[in-house]
Chain A
Amino acid sequence: MNTETNSNKESLDNQVVIIGAGPAGLTAGYELLKEGIHSTVVEKDNVVGGLSRTVNYNGYHFDIGGHRFFTKVQVVDDMWHEVLGDDFLTRSRLSRIFYNNKFFNYPFNLTNALFGLGIWNSIMIVISYLWAQVFPQKPEKTFDQWVSNRFGRRLYKIFFETYTEKVWGIPCNEISAEWAAQRIKGLSLLKAIKNTLIKEQTGNKQLVVKTLIDSFKYPKYGPGMMWEKVTDILNRDGSRVLLNSDVSKIYINNNRVEKIEIIENGNSKDISGNNFISSMPIRELIQKFDPPVPDEILKTANDLKYRDFLTVSLVVKKKDVFPDNWIYIHDPKVEVGRIQNFKNWSKDMVPSEEKTCLGLEYFCFEGDGLWSMDDKDLIELGKKELQQTGLVDASLVEDGTVVRMPKAYPVYDSTYLESVNTIRKYLNDIGNLQLIGRNGMHKYNNQDHSMLTAMLAVKNILGANYDLWKVNADQEYHEEISKDEVTDFKALSSTQPLVPETVTQSPVDIAIIRAFARLDKLAFAISIGAVAGMAIFLATLILILKGGNVIGPNLNLLGQYFIGYTVSIKGAFIGFGYSFLWGFIFGWLFAYLRNFFTGLYILRIKKKTEYSSFKDFIDYI
């Protein structure tokens, strides 16, 4: 058995090609190396880490977006600790919302928000919330309607509209309500009931939320440090990480990837292999197939959209600017969406204690006005907007740089799911190609999830048969994996943004649905009435059959309530009628009250869940 495994590993050595040196690609390389298999990682950029890179500008380190390290998946956490060791810091978190020249706590605190907005605004918020509860907008088709119906129009306008539009570049009334419902996974009523019912689960969740809110882990020199270290390990131990290597062609032969062609420093080169793992955007992957894919598939791939992102990093001659790790900018007068203060992520990110490095984040589309602006103009825009917000005096900015990050977010538009499914079906036939990571799978994954898909891909190469697309989509799937892994997968699932799921119901869901299903009032009333009527009817008949001088003197007393009732054949029918009537009334009332209080219980859980998702709503946008 061991000999077989070893010979399998030997045949794989130097035969695995990984496209992309982001968290997913490098994790795959690292996991292969742990199995004694050397691989080749190709990266078109000149740095590793993908979206999780850290840029070093004259000694100032900054992220492309802030990357908190948090996972419930033990294997991922283990890898972070394994690689970073003592350089993995625990940082306390502070992030607030800046609106109307005021700071608001984030995650939201209703009291803080109401006090900060003033009495008039608070009254209007309460009124608009009540209005939305009594007169919700129907049909609920768009994102703005969806949010307004839950939190009120006023609160939506203040806290959700501007930021959402900045992030996605689409007016909120053009974003579908379904998208909101999908993204805000915390609002799953069934899940909320489950958590309320299963105390242990609720306890764990609270702990997790608290951990995420209060603190997080972070590498001393930013997330890029992690991926630079992994790259060093790979290069040191015999694998190869090739930078500036753009994949130009992917040669397919007999439903297998035979080799890829890369352009390295202007020269083309072929890299052959037995197994290929790709974390490059699906759209680009499909475009590079040789022979080309059918037109229909190419068109489908081209339909996939991405939101891009740029950071204007400014060096400020000031020791302390603000205490937050980052600030959400909700002011519609400026284009900046978020401002990172990298010194507050780790003091080692900035070379001088007397200075601060701020990252102004702009969400944009590749090629649009912002994207195409000169770096100089973008730096000026950043300075101007900093001044405008009043957070920093622009004259204190002494230097700056710009980093553009294309395809930062896969867009979940109305067609993406169908497109991804079509491409998946097509790629299924290519036996030695696996897709991993955020853009590789067009899934809005966090770093840990991307890493896990890579770990599974490696297991598949070694002989396992995991369907990476089902990792957190099909609950049944988890049961097929070993116990330890089940814990990891399930834990991971709850930390992830929602991904497309098949319509499946777990036994727990079914049990909850059954337990909370409403009683049919009419049916319950009739059944109680019928049985009560039958009981009196039979009791009367029994006494008649028994006979005697005075038949059923005690049962006769029912006549005091059931006018006309006697212990007689006729009385048996009258008794049936009366008992049926009272049984019917009792049964109907019982069912009504039972449904009413169950509904009240569900409503209470729903409102509580809505409030809790309101608190960290921006995390889901």
Chain B
Amino acid sequence: MTNNFNENKLLEAVAILNAKVLGLILGLILGFIIFFITIWIVLKGPQLSPSGQYVMGPHLQLLSQFFIGYSVSYIGSIVGFVYGFAFGTIFGTLIGWIYNKIVVLKQKS
């Protein structure tokens, strides 16, 4: 009886996400991506732009439009990590929260 009970539970169960954990994971992933990409570009050094000037990671630098204080530099990598972590955490938590709300709503209905 317990076996059947558990087996049915297993086959019918719908996952409920842990929003905080999901947020933490996404935050860490996004934070580290920005951190390592920034470090990688800094280590590669300045690149020749079409205008003939040497610039450091011109495309990545665009992140500074959203992440105030960010730059393609060693310090910028730390700043980028913090921003990435913050945004990732918010997005992850939001995904988990919305998902759970919908699942609960569906189960209620």
Chain A residues near B (Cβ < 8 Å)? 181-182, 185, 187-191, 193, 498, 500-505, 509, 512-514, 516-520, 522-524, 526-528, 530-531, 534-535, 539, 542-543, 546, 552, 554, 602
**Is there an interface contact between B15 and A517, defined as CB atoms closer than 8 Å?**
yes
Given contacts A513-B10, A527-B96, A539-B66, contact A520 B106 (CB under 8 A): yes
Majority DSSP secondary structure for residues of B touching A: helix
Given contacts A514-B15, A520-B106, A530-B98, contact A188 B65 (CB under 8 A): no
Neighbour of B6 across the interface among A185, A505, A517, A546, CB < 8 A: A505
7 nearest A-B pairs in the assembled complex, by CB-CB distance: A517-B13, A523-B102, A527-B98, A517-B15, A527-B99, A188-B3, A501-B2
Q: Which residues of B contact A514 (CB under 8 A)?
A: 13, 15-16
Cα A517 to Cα B10 with chains together (Å): 6
**Is there an interface contact between A190 and B15, defined as CB atoms closer than 8 Å?**
no
**Is there an interface contact between B66 and A503, defined as CB atoms closer than 8 Å?**
no
CB pairs A–B below 8 angstroms (22 shown):
A182-B1, A188-B3, A190-B3, A190-B6, A501-B3, A503-B5, A504-B2, A505-B2, A513-B10, A514-B13, A517-B10, A517-B13, A517-B16, A519-B15, A520-B103, A520-B106, A526-B98, A527-B99, A531-B94, A535-B91, A554-B62, A602-B10
Cα A516 to Cα B96 with chains together (Å): 17
Q: Does B4 contact A (CB under 8 A)?
A: yes
Question: In the complex, which residue of chain A has the Cβ closest to the Cβ of B91?
Answer: A531
Q: Which residues of A contact B16 (CB under 8 A)?
A: 514, 517
Cα A518 to Cα B99 with chains together (Å): 13
Most buried by A among B1, B6, B91, B97: B6
Q: Which residues of B contact A523 (CB under 8 A)?
A: 98-100, 102-103, 106
Question: In the complex, which residue of chain A has the Cβ closest to the Cβ of B87?
Answer: A535
Question: In the complex, which residue of chain A has the Cβ closest to the Cβ of B93?
Answer: A531
Q: Which residues of A contact B6 (CB under 8 A)?
A: 188, 190, 505, 509, 513
Nearest CB on B from A530, distance (A): 6
Count of inter-chain pairs, beta carbons less than 8 A: 97
Q: Does B95 contact A (CB under 8 A)?
A: yes
Q: Does B14 contact A (CB under 8 A)?
A: yes
Nearest CB on B from A417, distance (A): 9
Cα A524 to Cα B99 with chains together (Å): 6
Question: In the complex, which residue of chain B has the Cβ closest to the Cβ of A538?
Answer: B66
Q: Does B44 contact A (CB under 8 A)?
A: no
**Is there an interface contact between A520 and B10, defined as CB atoms closer than 8 Å?**
no
**Is there an interface contact between A185 and B102, defined as CB atoms closer than 8 Å?**
no
Q: Which residues of A contact B106 (CB under 8 A)?
A: 520, 522-523
Cα A594 to Cα B62 with chains together (Å): 34
Q: Does B108 contact A (CB under 8 A)?
A: no
Q: Which residues of B contact A531 (CB under 8 A)?
A: 91, 94-95, 98
